[in-house]
Structure 1
Amino acid sequence: MTPQSRADGQGRAPGGGAGRSRRSFLTHLVAAPTLALVTRAGADLLVPQPAHAVVPSLPAIADLVDLGDLFIRAGAPTSTLLVLAVETDGTVRFRLPREEVGQGLTTAVAMLVAEELDTPLATVRVELDDARPELLFNQLTGSSNSIRSLYGPVRQAAATARARLVAAAAAGWNLPVSRLTTANGSVRAPDGRTASYGSLTVAAASPDLIVLGATPKPAARHTLVGTPTNRVDARAMVTGAQRYTLDLDVPGAKPCVVRRPPTLGGAVRAVGNRAAVRAMPGVLDVVTVPTGVAVVAETFGQALDAKAALQVTWGPGPADHLSDPQIRTKLRAAVPPLLVPPLLTPYVDAEFDFAFVSHAPMETNSAIADVRDDRAEIWSGLKSPIVARQTIAAELGLPLDKVKVHVVQAGGSFGRRLFFDAALEAARISKACRRPVKLMWTRVDDTRHGRMRPATHHRIRATHLLGEVLSFEHRVAAAETDFRHGLGEIITATVASLPLGLGNATLAQTLFHTTVKSPYHFGLTTQALTEVPTGIPTASWRSVYSANTRGAEEIVVDELAAATGKDPYRFRRTFLKTDAQRAVLDKVAAEGEWGRAMPPGCAQGIAFHEEYKSRTACLVEIDARDPQRVRVTKAVIAVDVGLPVNPRGLEAQMIGGLTDAISTTLRAGLHLDKGLPLEGSYSQFHWAQQRDTPRDVRVLVLPASGAEPGGAGELGVPAAVGAIANAWARATGSKPRSFPLDFDVDFTPYPR
């Protein structure tokens, strides 16, 4: 039996005080025969203000707020427009205004609901919500923000439902709510009587029921949250029962593929054999859209055959003249000068290049569209469904309320599904051929024509004297990142509303400075970004700017340690700013046996990263004795996310970040050649396979260090990048400067 229900408590969220969110909640019943409610909130974000009248600079302000804080502020007005229902059989249904792309979000949210309702996890169903424009900026999945932003509102919604169920039981038994408790999906009286939630849901839905308010449990009373828990969708995923977009059976939807241009962004000028292709077996239609020539057929095999037979004349794309050498030259030329001259003190200088990288989710881009003259319906894996719905409605010339957009669980994203390219393309094709279509991007399409992480160039200078670091300057030039998927609007609107002098800050600068921060006391520290337009389709990639930027900084930290004659672990420990940072570093050093003897050609590497109110350290061991098959053989990761909701899910996130870092640090990248990536498959892109990943991986989740969870989805990449590069440097005696480290074209590219 759980402790006494707090159904008669004052309705407020935990926390508050300077620098933190304060929420006051009011619940409104949805008209339904059983308990179904929407929890509404008014909220504000308290941002610390400087005591003096000088408006702080953007980097200084970034020390006060991070990107997650901006997202939470943007979503605050609608953050608790959450829909939760309790059915007569005791099933709890929660509509999640976020996307599940494999990160375990539905499991973590189900845990929060089950915890507050005191009901078994198996009774909770978390369903992805359709695009809901009334949520404004509160239906975008990204920036490691979902659990951070949902933690309070989801708990409040569930606690409110529990309060109504307890109040219904109290009214039926003529007992005060203070004498009732809840456990295992039922309300219990002191004399042993019990009433299941299902039996109470009709009475709990009565608008005449008096409920004063509800307060979520304090963390000290959690029995499920904080406990390692298997994913609620794991069995469906491994047995093939999980339904992704192309598994949906939408009446009349026919398979569709697109013949794409030989260079990025190229346009169709003419189709020479349209009639002949349309006459091929099973082909239903051949239509031209802005992105290429679409073929609709009875089967995907027939559509692929017809696509290959097309004879298309193409116009140029915006990046046809660009290959890797030209990109590197443009980025190097765009890096701003360093400010501190290396005149009187010793210094470390370093420059780094990072290649373009594909998101490479397991599920390629896909969507189903059914467009009629007066309405449209779309199904796809979407992380920004509100903007997708608005854009598609405008493209089709339909009123917004005549377009339905359904969010489908997706097989991976890493930032890719922030864009809704497939959904928009499917809508255009469906309109042109006047039939429902089931669009699939091939793997080659996804690798070559999908969006990619921008290439970057980095210039770093650190000066030191007598064991102290006097200055640390980092200048970054990056191919411009496209944020036209909703995230840009969120940042722009939120920054403009802050009383911090940020109104004229550019979107990229705001994102850069609210995510990239040095955790070290390194004297005068400056970090700056310059973006270079290239015409190449880009998108946020897991960790956005941090993976490359902080990864490069952690390499220089090792080189600073060597220049000052210090051990890399001890050097970091000396300069880290907080005890919480040192705790994760100490943990990996101890558990990973930092400094143990290694054979020649093998070495350890260590690195640290902090972002989104969370922190991690990573220690790896590498075997570089075979230059053609460098392998990470062991990894130890310590992570502190404040309050971990599901430690098992957190472990998976950190292992995923490690795998991304192994891939992009050692072998995975895109060669741009005359306006098109050469790579067209996993084998050519050289993503880490099972044989490339360490058999010995330990993720150490530190006990709760805060009252609320921090972000985790992007946390694991930067420290792992630094640790792997540092281990490689020690094993080979070479300084890593260009990534991926092994970047040969050792394959025959597919035809354009």
Structure 2
Amino acid sequence: MDGEILRDPTRRFVLTSGAAVGGGLLFSFSVAAEGQAAEAAATFNAYVRIAPDSGVTIASKIPEVGQGIKTAMPMLIAEEMDVDWSAVTVEQAPADFKTYGRQVAGGSMATTLEYDGFRRVGASVRALLIAAAAQRWKVAPDSLTTEPGFVVHAASKRRTAYGELAEAAAKLTPPDPKTLALKDPKAFRIIGQSHKSQNLDAITTGQPLYGIDVRVPGMLFATFAKAPVYAAKVASADLAAAKAVKGVKDAFIIEGGTNLQGLMPGVAVVADTWWAARKGRNALNIQWADHPTAAQSTAAFAAKAAELAKSPPQRVDHADGDVDAALKGAAKVVSAAYSYPFIAHANLEPQNCTAHVKDGKVEIWAPTQNPEPGRKLVAAALNVPEEAITIHLIRGGGGFGRRLNNDYMVEAAAIAAKAGVPVQLIWTREDDLQHDFYRPGAWHNFTAGLDAAGKVVAWNDHFVSFGKDKEFAPSAGFNASQFPGRAIDNYRLEVSVMPLGFPTGPLRAPGNNAFGFVLQSFTDELALAAGKDPVAFRRELLGEPRLLGKPGERDSFHTGRMRGVLDKVADMSGWGRKLPTGTGLGVSCHYSHLGYVAVVMQVTVKEGALKIDKVWTAADVGRQIINPKGADQQMQGSILDAISSTLRQEITFEGGAAVQSNFGDFQLLRMSEAPPIEVAYVLSDNNPTGLGEPAYPPAPAALCNAIFAATGKRIRSLPIGDQLA
């Protein structure tokens, strides 16, 4: 169907099997490019162990950071295997690209990439078990069926448990998974049903699961002090004073480098407890060398952005039609400037990693979202081959894109290499907020033209961001595929950039987390200028159902799918109903990470105090929701995350250093502020896609548009802060 991401038809599935340690059957599956060996070109790998008692263990290859993937992906395998979910135990697989291929918790891509493949993994296991039973009973395989955990021969009323067939199945030639029929979704028993994480009880009772819970024999604890100004070197440090602190075993300088994504200069303190390491760190009296980034500040960025906005753009990245002529002939021209700040990820578990370096080998326990780049960083820093590094994937206490970078991993490895013993590095909260890969701030200077009927006939955005020449800083870019690009005949994207000395990177729904705010807020302004209802104006702007872009492209946009969720959320919220004075409804809709999401918020503002009364949201992520409980939680969590950043969060810089240092000045949403969120799904005939990120982008604009509806106050810069006072 139009708008789907097309699977590569040259890929083939490869299945191998063998005896599992301790008895039973081990299935190993991989997908390789046609003509390539699975060992060399695997794009994913899954392992299924069947024990003699028919217990099934499924390895989950993708890092778990709270997005529920450790539950959802094994559900796909279990469904097609035809086993009871209660018989399944899920294990986290280690980081191993040669075996598993892509192991990344990012981009909401797991469902998109793995949905069909993992189902075929399960179907292949089932086929082998049926073949083993057919040999045992000397009957045709097509005369057999399965019930959860059993192969059944209805004619003779025989049934055998999977565990009894496992050894025989291990000796058979695996089938070609492409030839296997998958279940009709109407027959699903596991997919589409809500299942909680197998770790839920441990999570809620505080049992050790996370990176900071790792314990290795002989392990010491470490802190690592880095300059407030990124990449500044150590001029001097009182190592003796740190070593004099009770419990401190060593303190030393790490030279580091200039790669903002890698090992930075700093001073490590290693001790028998983390608190002793921190006390030793406090005694260091570090003097930092001068660094050019010290000249950068939030005030300087804002001043430069204002200057650039008034000047001709440095370049034009995209131009359709004749924007200037269309604006000149427009019945009404609307201009507005929007901005958003740098923000930190602020995952609740600070960055941490445990590492052991011995005899040329490195063993790492890390809550990483993207282990392979971390392996490369460690290999380069320690001058060891990548194959000498073992990475254990540990559940992360939140990620939101922060743990796609692995600076904490290479720091732990470098400290452990010098300490000569296993070391667990744990950052302080101040380290975490002041040494992040921030979501970059930016400025959008919009001008749009409306004709006499209130239709948008021209759109210009002078986008001011960070970068050098024609390159944006990481995660600082913007492109014309964002709606309403391609839907308006006269559309232009102008760009100006300024240099940046701070590291930036992806934050949940990268880029889109800010684009949704500016695009959908300005769209609301245009609806007002056109004298039209905000929902009706968006319906008109979307126009007839059609694909904008090319089939199979990630940024292709189907207007009909967006119209579907917009109509759904309008209906859910009772859009258009009369509300009390001081109460307003705001709407927003945005496409990101292959998901179409619309949000309506109701707010009440009294004497400058904001209360979010309720949120409604609808999503179209294809024809199947794998785990409804997990999906609802991702939708709700994304929206709460977005509300939190919209209300109060910003990172500012003075003298080349981040000002905010802890949750006192970088505030998260309080439970008392969290509104009820009603979630619905619009199923469409498209491949299933992910839900970890798409609900975030429309939420800030829905909130700000609701504030305007309640008060007449237009929010054009984030965070909202005290703008309502």
> TM-score, with normalisation over the residues of structure 2?
0.87
**Does residue 1:133 correspond to 2:121, yes or no?**
no
Q: Report 1:568-579 matches (<5 A).
A: 568-577=534-543, 578=545, 579=560
Distance in structure 1 (CA, Å) of the matches to 2:205 and 2:150? 33
- Report the residue type matching 2:243 in the other structure: R
Conserved 8 A contact 1:83-1:94: yes
| Contact 2:195–2:627, Cα closer than 8 Å, also in 1 | yes
The answer on whether the counterparts of 1:84 and 1:93 sit within 8 Å (CA) in structure 2 is yes
Given that 2:45 and 2:61 are in contact with CA atoms closer than 8 Å, whether structure 1 keeps it comes out as no
**2:645 partner amino acid:** T
Answer with 352-361 or 29-38: which moved more: 29-38
Q: State the AA in 1 paired with 2:454.
A: G
CA contact (8 A) 2:269 2:280 kept: yes
The reply on whether 1:477 has 2:450 as its aligned counterpart is no
Q: Paired residue for 1:690?
A: 671
Aligned residue for 1:362, secondary structure, equals coil
SS at match of 1:739: coil
Which secondary structure does the structure 1 equivalent of 2:132 belong to?
A: helix
Match of 1:319 in 2: 293
Which residue in 2 is equivalent to 1:177?
Answer: 141
Equivalent position SS for 1:343: helix
Counterpart Cα distance in 2 of 1:450 and 1:731? 36
1: CA distance, partners of 2:497 / 2:104: 24
User: Which residue matches 1:699?
Assistant: 679
Q: State the Cα distance separating 1:364 from its structure 2 match.
A: 0.6
Residue 36 of structure 1 is matched in structure 2 by 26
User: 1:127-166, aligned counterparts within 5 Å?
Assistant: 127-134=91-98, 138-166=102-130
Q: Is the 8 A contact 2:45 2:101 kept in 1?
A: no
Q: Is the 8 A contact 1:15 1:21 kept in 2?
A: no
CA distance 1:635–1:436, shift in 2 (3 Å): same
- Alignment counterpart, residue 701 of structure 2, candidates 704, 722, 726: 722
After superposition, the Cα gap between the structure-2 partners of 1:93 and 1:530, relative to the gap in structure 1 and judged at 3 Å, is: farther
Q: Is 1:654 the equivalent of 2:635?
A: yes
Which residue of structure 2 lines up, in the alignment, with residue 194 of structure 1? Answer: 159
Is 2:620 aligned against 1:640? yes
Q: Which residue does 2:687 correspond to in 1?
A: 708
Partner of 2:657: 676
**CA–CA separation in structure 1 for the residues paired with 2:525 and 2:18:** 61
Q: Residue 267 of structure 2 corresponds to which residue in structure 1?
A: 293
Task: After TM superposition, list the pairs within 5 Å mapping 1:359-398 onto structure 2.
Answer: 359-398=345-384
Q: Which amino acid aligns with 2:463?
A: V
Change (3 A) 1:281 1:531: same
1:515 Cα shift?
7.1
1:616-627 paired onto structure 2 within 5 Å: 616-627=597-608
After superposition, the Cα gap between the structure-2 partners of 1:541 and 1:18, relative to the gap in structure 1 and judged at 3 Å, is closer
The residue type equivalent to 1:216 in the other structure is L
Structure 2 runs not aligned, ≥5 long: 257-264, 546-559
SS at match of 1:358: coil
2:197 to 226, 231, 234: 231
Q: Secondary structure at the match of 2:664?
A: helix
Matches within 5 A, 1:79-94: 79-94=43-58
Deviation at 1:510, TM superposition (A): 12
Cα distance in 1 for residues equivalent to 2:8 and 2:471: 24
Quote how far apart the aligned CAs of 1:530 are. Answer: 5.3
**Match in the other structure for 1:57:** none
Counterpart among 252, 266, 279 of residue 305 in structure 1: 279
2:466 partner amino acid: A
- Given that residues 245 and 410 in structure 1 are in contact (C-alpha distance below 8 angstroms), is that contact kept between their aligned partners in structure 2? yes
Equivalent residue, structure 2, for 1:62: none
Which residue of structure 1 lines up, in the alignment, with residue 593 of structure 2? 612
Q: Distance in 2 between matches of 1:603 and 1:234?
A: 37
User: How many angstroms apart in 1 are the aligned matches of 2:3 and 2:578?
Assistant: 49
**Structure 1 SS opposite 2:524:** helix
Does the 8 A contact of 1:167 with 1:210 survive in 2? no
The question of whether the paired residues in 1 share the 8 Å contact of 2:4 and 2:686 is answered with no
Within the alignment, does 1:281 sit opposite 2:261 as a pair? no
Contact 1:519/1:576 (<8 A) preserved? no
Shift of 1:139: 2.2
Return the offset for 1:99: 1.0
Query: Equivalent residue for 1:26?
Result: 14
Query: Contact 2:363 / 2:390 at 8 angstroms: preserved in 1?
Result: yes
Note closer, same or farther for the CA distance 1:126–1:524 as it changes in structure 2 (3 Å cut).
farther
Match of 2:440? 454
Contact 1:187/1:197 (CA < 8 Å) preserved in 2?
yes
Partner Cα separation in structure 1 for residue 89 and residue 493 of structure 2: 44
Task: Give the 3 Å change call, closer, same or farther, for CA 202–418 of structure 1 in structure 2.
Answer: same
SS in 2 for 1:293: strand
Distance 1:650 1:16, change over 3 A: closer
Does the 8 Å CA contact 2:485/2:491 hold for their aligned counterparts?
no
Q: What residue in structure 1 maps to residue 527 of structure 2? A: 561
> 1-side partners of 2:603 and 2:471: how far apart?
42
User: What letter corresponds to residue 560 of structure 1 in structure 2?
Assistant: L
State the alpha-carbon separation in 2 of the partners of residues 334 and 131 from structure 1.
45
Cα distance change of structure 1 residues 687 and 304 upon mapping to structure 2, 3 Å threshold? same
Q: Quick one: which amino acid aligns to residue 638 of structure 1?
A: A
In 1: Cα distance, 2:182 partner to 2:464 partner: 46
Tell me, in whole angstroms, the C-alpha distance in 1 between the residues paired with 2:437 and 2:174: 52
For residue 269 of structure 1, report the CA deviation from its aligned partner. Answer: 1.1
Distance 1:460 1:76 in 2: 49
Whichever residue aligns with residue 384 of structure 1, its letter is N
Distance 1:313 1:412 in 2: 33
User: Aligned to 2:103, what secondary structure does the other structure show?
Assistant: coil
Secondary structure, aligned partner of 1:516: coil
**CA–CA distance in structure 1, aligned partners of residues 497 and 166 of structure 2:** 55
Q: Deviations over 1:102-161 (max 9, x none)?
A: 001111112112211111223223333322232696222211111111111211111111
Paired with 2:403 and 2:173, the residues of 1 have a C-alpha distance of: 44
* In 2, Cα distance between equivalents of 1:356 and 1:252: 40
For residues 401-480 of structure 1, what are the structure 2 equivalents within 5 Å?
Answer: 401-465=387-451, 466-480=453-467
Q: Tell me by how many angstroms 1:542 deviates.
A: 0.9
Q: Is the 8 A contact 2:41 2:101 kept in 1?
A: no
Q: Aligned partner of 2:284: which letter? A: L
Distance 1:224 1:701, change over 3 A: same
Q: Please give the alpha-carbon distance, in whole angstroms, between the structure 2 residues aligned to 1:16 and 1:352.
A: 30
Q: Is the 8 A contact 2:597 2:617 kept in 1?
A: yes
Aligned length: 676
Q: Cα offset for 1:396?
A: 0.7
Does the residue aligned with 1:199 lie in a helix, a strand or coil? helix
Task: Tell me, in whole angstroms, the C-alpha distance in 2 between the residues paired with 1:563 and 1:210.
Answer: 63
Q: 1:329 to 1:38 in 2, by over 3 A?
A: farther
How far 1:616 moved relative to its partner?
1.1
SS in 1 for 2:328: coil
Stretches of structure 1 that go unaligned for 5 or more consecutive residues are: 1-13, 45-74, 482-503, 747-752
User: 1:622, CA displacement in angstroms?
Assistant: 1.4
Q: Decide whether aligned partners of structure 1 residues 711 and 377 sit closer, same or farther in structure 2, where only a CA change above 3 A counts.
A: same
Segment drifting more, 609-618 vs 219-228 = 219-228
Give the Cα separation in 1 of the matches to 2:627 and 2:40: 24
Alpha-carbon shift at residue 369 of structure 1 (Å): 0.7
Partner of 2:549: none
